[in-house]
Structure 1
Amino acid sequence: MAGGRRAWSDTAPLLNPQQHNHLVNLPSSVEMAASASVPRRSVFLGVDVGTGSARAGLFDGNGKLLGCASSPLQIWKEGDCVEQSSTDIWHSICAAVKSACSLANVSGEDVTGLGFAATCSLVAVDSEGSPVSVSWSNDSRRNVMVWMDHRAVKQAERINSCNSTVLQYCGGALSPEMQPPKLLWVKENLQESWSMVFRWMDLSDWLSYRATGDDTRSLCTAVCKWTYLGHAHMQQIKEKYSQDMEACGWDDDFWEEIGLGDLVDGHHAKIGRSVAFPGHALGSGLTPTSAKELGLVAGTPVASSLIDAHAGGVGVMESVPVSDSESEDFNEEAICHRMVLVCGTSTCHMAVCRSKLFIPGVWGPFWSAMVPEYWLTEGGQSATGALLDHIIENHVASPQLANRAASQGISLFQLLNKILESMMHDLGSPFLAALTSDIHVLPDFHGNRSPIADPKAKGIVCGLTLDTSDKQLALLYLATVQGIAYGTRHIVEHCNAHGHKIDTLLACGGLAKNAVFIQEHADIIGYPIILPRENEPVLLGAAILGAVAAKKYSNLNEAMKALNAAGQVIHPSEDPKVTKYHDAKYHIFRELYAQQLSHRSIMAQALA
């Protein structure tokens, strides 16, 4: 309603006829009818905590963005250690939510439901909910071990050597970015912190806990990052579909074997005694304290959460053109032919299937971790946006280019794309990609997450010269974009070789707004790429959770179909010369890693 006022019938208790005589100043029947005829508008709030900022977005009942805002986050980086503060994160969220509501002219009373998404970072709190340090510095503010923290490589290697059966649901090996290796590192290195921690939580679960006081964990986080076997109690889940469930998917033998048996105590109280589908309504909604901090209304439904990449998947998985979604052969299997690319600091590759597919080097299969009752396969590249930033910022021409971009009112990526376009015409290149025939990039600067699953992998740039011009930087940037796209092609081919039938890509995230990045991916992989109508699909995915928690839709699948919408479709080049060119560069891409392994072996023998 206008001004965010509720209809009288929405707030009045249910009364029996006798009670009416004791009430005064009741609205007339005409007023009541008029009020009831004007439904309260549905506005869904999504909150996304990324690596560098917390963002909030408000969406209407058609999934259209009404307004969004962001607030920066503090971060500490020291070598492989990357840390944040949950207190700082919460304050940033509150600022972003208030700003978004102001920009969208939405009052707190208008917000119908709230969902959180966040990076898969590890949060430590004590019995009072206060932060516990996970840092060598012993700074209690630094209680979040960020997803990209790689300090636990050795712990991951030891865990993987155990060959536990849970590992087959993680592509055969745990990544140091997952939570068990990080937990083991803390126990072995920060004993005082280990003894103080009352709850270990994924960041998105901590956010919903901070908002509601409900400690129920999401199947998304528990299954994808904690080795929780959601399918172990599939029947229990189906019987109690809309409720939280006792956490019986933990493999106690695994925790004992890796040296973390104390986490089994108290029915797994420190890591999660109950779990729920993403979108499950938690507790009694927002607590009065959290509601005041956020500028919202106490009791507003809050959903169990999603990891940020998975929220992106929920925000775009059904974003297909209407003609496709309404065709006669459309069925529930159509979703299984799609892969979502969530392209930000890193890139996650999300695909679902009705059957469980075990794919070496690719995370999963995870049951109901994103779309209920579908098995999720999750590939990934640990550094994509972060890699492009690194390549550009460490080039001598970068400051000058940044100034030029600012003076023209465009992004640095847009300026580099313009330079490449000019170079193509000036040099008579047959197509843009051909500019990099002499420069090749293996993008594993932060290890290889998929499909090789080698955290020790290193990046390679082949074809450097003494040229320090802006044109040389543009070529290096383009070759890096191509290297990232070849990595995605490797993941897609690997998944299809192990049972998937992916033939369509849906891309979202910051890099998906880069025209060259998307066109190179389409040309290199050979599949069309659909962009969503809304520019903030991770926020939309989080907001969809809130819509489900508010009971506006019966389940997540129904909400996705109602609120997702397609935008532009990018088709691969039909020029056979482009295909031949990329096939050749892809061959070199694969060779670069093989050469790295050979070099690694030679040096290991020399040092033996």
Structure 2
Amino acid sequence: MRPVLLSIDVGTHSLRSAFVSLEGHILAYDEEPLLIWKTASTMEFCSDNIWEALVTSVNRLTAEHPLNQEDIKGVGIDTTYSLVLLDEQMLPVHLPGSHRANTFGWMDSRASQQAAIIASEYPGLFAHAGSRISAKSNSSKLLWLFQSAPETWQAATCILDLYDYVTWKLTGCVTRTPTSTSHIFTRDAAAKLNIDIEERFNGESLEIGAAVGGGLCKSAADQLNLKPGTPVATGIIDAYGGTLATILADNHQKSQQPLDCITRRVSFIGGTSSNYVTFSKDTLTCNGADGPYPSVLEGYSLIYARQTAAGAFIDHIITSHPAYSSIYDIAVSLGIGVHEYLNQILYELAGNNRSEYAEDVSKLTAHLHMLPYFDSPEVDQPQRGMITGLSLDKSHQSLAVLYLASIQALALDARYQLEKLKKSGYDFELLIPTGGLAKNQLLLTEHINILNMPAAISEERESMLLSGAITGSVAAGIYSSIEDAMRAMSRYHDRIEPNQQLFDFYETKYDTFMKMQKCQQSWE
């Protein structure tokens, strides 16, 4: 096998490892499930389980696709926005009430009271890291831990972002990057909140894509059956990494697009949660968005519009319907996923074949409307989930139409959030989709039509796995900068235009969406 990069992607439900060519092609990948403990307000992981999954996945990958150790030129990591608690021996410190979990998951919202306190009593305290404060932010979680679990707080002498934890396990070096919680939870913020936290944030500060220490340490190399000293890059948040892997894509090899094209694009990272990420040369704030943050691309800042429950919201709609069990059994018997089977039902209802998608599919929800805020409400967004147009129908068809309405609700919310960004000075004209949800052709088509924005479809279907390859290539010295690596590895092969025949339908649909929001706000 020719020279490759090893990319590690730690998601919500699974960890993936992949061999990626220096040109950005996924040559092989493997997936290993992760343990997760979740309630309505908590999400917890076990860092030991994540490391064990990484070892298992990489070993299986190398066993099934053997190559010389020297062929792996660098390692890169992206993970979810999660927070690991360790003691002074760097052993797990379990979260209250758990015997295994020591990691706050990104969707954990138990710190809602702390987020409200920060928002009301310390407005602007974390303004440099975003105009909103969320119960899911690591800053809120740390205040919750300090106030609600003092014994756990005292024991947790080292607190690491998950991607910094993985690089520590690989290299033996504790590092932090500009996006790490240690740089967001500043000394000034800690003093105002009366939290003694600085000693818990020890570690060397490095840029994204920098080489960590002496590379892969011997103990990790032995477990992974890889070469000691293999360059390892600093980690990155998955949404950020997925954006870098796609936002500069061109439809030609060795893109010559000017860098400022990223200010006219928006990255759609679709998964259990979704993020819409765009860039600006100016530091433009937007109420309800997360950012702006300085980016790894010099002279540009980036901002996130988030949907903390996207795939999770769709799955909730599907699994809570009386027809779900039957739908699931049929999908399994056909060897396809539940979403794919529901798509087939919708095409049949509209009288279309899969290859002949038309506006009749979208209009199946003319009577059915949703607000997708089924997740716990934020300080600055108190809305709850809402559905209007329900009936007593329990058929497979009724579930399929509800599923379609949930897809449309996410796209309508995306339009709402992106319009707020435009009012704040951001400007974009091309959608760049990636992530698991973006593989659903129906969902992607609805987004394109509802946003009335064309989309560039990545050449590499598993483009999220390019994230680690980009950072790993820079750490290994293959490319001199993140920008150079992005240009070399990121391409798109197709461009899909919105269906203008649906414009009036979705203008009415969006008007209904906004009226539902205002109606619910009036009840508050």
Q: Specify if TM > 0.5.
A: yes
Helix, strand or coil: the match of 1:333?
A: helix
Matches within 5 A, 1:232-251: 251=186
Deviations 1:434-466 (A, max 9, x none): 1100000100111466xx942x43111111100
Q: CA deviation at 1:269?
A: 3.4
Q: CA deviation at 1:481?
A: 0.3
Are 1:134 and 1:142, in contact at CA under 8 Å, matched by a contact in 2?
yes
Helix, strand or coil: the match of 1:58?
A: strand
Q: Counterpart of 1:446? A: 375
Matches within 5 A, 1:103-252: 103-137=64-98, 139=99, 141-222=100-181, 228=184, 251-252=186-187
Q: CA deviation at 1:420?
A: 0.8
Deviations 1:136-187 (A, max 9, x none): 33x2x21001010110000011112233544333443311111111111111
Aligned positions, number: 520
Are 1:66 and 1:104, in contact at CA under 8 Å, matched by a contact in 2?
no
Is residue 289 of structure 2 the alignment partner of residue 365 of structure 1? no
Q: CA deviation at 1:401?
A: 1.2
Task: Give the letter aligned to residue 130 of structure 1.
Answer: L
Structure 1 window deviating more from structure 2 (504-513 vs 400-409): it is: 400-409
Task: Give the letter aligned to residue 309 of structure 2.
Answer: A
Task: Give the letter aligned to residue 192 of structure 2.
Answer: E
Would the alpha carbon gap of residues 79 and 165 (structure 1) be closer, same or farther in structure 2, given more than 3 Å must change?
A: closer
Q: CA deviation at 1:567?
A: 2.8
Q: CA deviation at 1:53?
A: 0.7
Helix, strand or coil: the match of 1:289?
A: helix
Q: Counterpart of 1:6? A: none
Is residue 395 of structure 2 the alignment partner of residue 436 of structure 1? no
Would the alpha carbon gap of residues 221 and 591 (structure 1) be closer, same or farther in structure 2, given more than 3 Å must change?
A: farther
Are 1:45 and 1:111, in contact at CA under 8 Å, matched by a contact in 2?
yes
Task: Give the letter aligned to residue 226 of structure 2.
Answer: L
Q: Counterpart of 1:99? A: 60
Helix, strand or coil: the match of 1:432?
A: helix
Helix, strand or coil: the match of 1:105?
A: coil
Measured in 1, the distance between the counterparts of 2:11 and 2:443 equals 21
Higher relative CO (Cα under 8 Å, sequence separation at least 6) belongs to: 2
Q: Counterpart of 2:250? A: 320
Measured in 1, the distance between the counterparts of 2:10 and 2:173 equals 19
Would the alpha carbon gap of residues 373 and 218 (structure 1) be closer, same or farther in structure 2, given more than 3 Å must change?
A: farther
Q: Counterpart of 2:15? A: 54
Matches within 5 A, 1:550-589: 550-575=476-501, 578-589=502-513
Helix, strand or coil: the match of 1:473?
A: helix
Measured in 1, the distance between the counterparts of 2:510 and 2:227 equals 54
5+ residue gaps, structure 1 = 3-40, 229-249, 601-608
Q: CA deviation at 1:221?
A: 3.0
Is residue 67 of structure 2 the alignment partner of residue 67 of structure 1? no
Deviations 1:10-51 (A, max 9, x none): xxxxxxxxxxxxxxxxxxxxxxxxxxxxxxx42111101111
Measured in 2, the distance between the counterparts of 1:581 and 1:315 equals 34
Is residue 436 of structure 2 the alignment partner of residue 510 of structure 1? yes
Is residue 324 of structure 2 the alignment partner of residue 398 of structure 1? yes
Would the alpha carbon gap of residues 143 and 394 (structure 1) be closer, same or farther in structure 2, given more than 3 Å must change?
A: same
Measured in 2, the distance between the counterparts of 1:393 and 1:166 equals 40
Q: Counterpart of 1:525? A: 451
Are 1:435 and 1:475, in contact at CA under 8 Å, matched by a contact in 2?
yes
Task: Give the letter aligned to residue 191 of structure 2.
Answer: E
Are 1:58 and 1:101, in contact at CA under 8 Å, matched by a contact in 2?
no
Are 1:372 and 1:556, in contact at CA under 8 Å, matched by a contact in 2?
no
Q: CA deviation at 1:205?
A: 0.9
Deviations 1:334-389 (A, max 9, x none): 11111111100000111111211111110111012x54442011111011111111
Are 1:117 and 1:305, in contact at CA under 8 Å, matched by a contact in 2?
yes
5+ residue gaps, structure 2 = none
Helix, strand or coil: the match of 1:468?
A: coil
Measured in 2, the distance between the counterparts of 1:213 and 1:174 equals 33
Measured in 1, the distance between the counterparts of 2:21 and 2:201 equals 35
Measured in 1, the distance between the counterparts of 2:307 and 2:253 equals 32
Measured in 2, the distance between the counterparts of 1:99 and 1:563 equals 25
Would the alpha carbon gap of residues 251 and 290 (structure 1) be closer, same or farther in structure 2, given more than 3 Å must change?
A: same
Are 2:26 and 2:465, in contact at CA under 8 Å, matched by a contact in 1?
no
Task: Give the letter aligned to residue 197 of structure 1.
Answer: A
Q: Counterpart of 1:42? A: 3
Would the alpha carbon gap of residues 430 and 93 (structure 1) be closer, same or farther in structure 2, given more than 3 Å must change?
A: closer
Is residue 187 of structure 2 the alignment partner of residue 257 of structure 1? no
Helix, strand or coil: the match of 1:176?
A: coil
Are 1:371 and 1:557, in contact at CA under 8 Å, matched by a contact in 2?
yes
Task: Give the letter aligned to residue 25 of structure 2.
Answer: K
Are 1:372 and 1:557, in contact at CA under 8 Å, matched by a contact in 2?
no
Would the alpha carbon gap of residues 353 and 106 (structure 1) be closer, same or farther in structure 2, given more than 3 Å must change?
A: farther
Would the alpha carbon gap of residues 91 and 334 (structure 1) be closer, same or farther in structure 2, given more than 3 Å must change?
A: same
Is residue 188 of structure 2 the alignment partner of residue 269 of structure 1? no
Task: Give the letter aligned to residue 524 of structure 1.
Answer: I
Helix, strand or coil: the match of 2:101?
A: coil
RMSD: 2.0
Task: Give the letter aligned to residue 319 of structure 2.
Answer: E
Measured in 1, the distance between the counterparts of 2:358 and 2:33 equals 42
Deviations 1:502-532 (A, max 9, x none): 1111001111111110000000001111121
Measured in 1, the distance between the counterparts of 2:213 and 2:302 equals 27
Are 1:166 and 1:251, in contact at CA under 8 Å, matched by a contact in 2?
no
Deviations 1:66-106 (A, max 9, x none): 10001111111234122110000000011111222233333
Q: CA deviation at 1:227?
A: 6.0
Would the alpha carbon gap of residues 429 and 351 (structure 1) be closer, same or farther in structure 2, given more than 3 Å must change?
A: closer
Q: Counterpart of 1:410? A: 336
Deviations 1:247-267 (A, max 9, x none): xxx63222111231x11xxxx
Task: Give the letter aligned to residue 480 of structure 1.
Answer: S
Q: CA deviation at 1:430?
A: 5.5
Aligned sequence identity (%)? 32
Q: CA deviation at 1:306?
A: 0.6
Are 2:248 and 2:261, in contact at CA under 8 Å, matched by a contact in 1?
no
Task: Give the letter aligned to residue 579 of structure 1.
Answer: F
Measured in 1, the distance between the counterparts of 2:518 and 2:254 equals 41
Helix, strand or coil: the match of 1:559?
A: helix
Is residue 273 of structure 2 the alignment partner of residue 346 of structure 1? yes
Measured in 1, the distance between the counterparts of 2:396 and 2:218 equals 54
Task: Give the letter aligned to residue 485 of structure 1.
Answer: A
Measured in 2, the distance between the counterparts of 1:467 and 1:503 equals 40
Q: Counterpart of 1:331? A: 258
Are 2:126 and 2:189, in contact at CA under 8 Å, matched by a contact in 1?
no
Would the alpha carbon gap of residues 587 and 195 (structure 1) be closer, same or farther in structure 2, given more than 3 Å must change?
A: same
Would the alpha carbon gap of residues 430 and 123 (structure 1) be closer, same or farther in structure 2, given more than 3 Å must change?
A: closer
Please report the TM-score for the alignment, with normalisation by the length of structure 2.
Answer: 0.95
Q: CA deviation at 1:112?
A: 0.7
Q: Counterpart of 2:240? A: 310
Q: Counterpart of 2:391? A: 465
Of 292, 296, 307, the match for 2:222: 292
Would the alpha carbon gap of residues 51 and 154 (structure 1) be closer, same or farther in structure 2, given more than 3 Å must change?
A: same
Would the alpha carbon gap of residues 429 and 519 (structure 1) be closer, same or farther in structure 2, given more than 3 Å must change?
A: closer
Deviant stretches of 4+, over 6 Å: none
Q: CA deviation at 1:415?
A: 1.1
Are 1:505 and 1:530, in contact at CA under 8 Å, matched by a contact in 2?
yes
Task: Give the letter aligned to residue 220 of structure 2.
Answer: S
Say which one has the larger Rg. Answer: 1
Q: CA deviation at 1:568?
A: 2.8
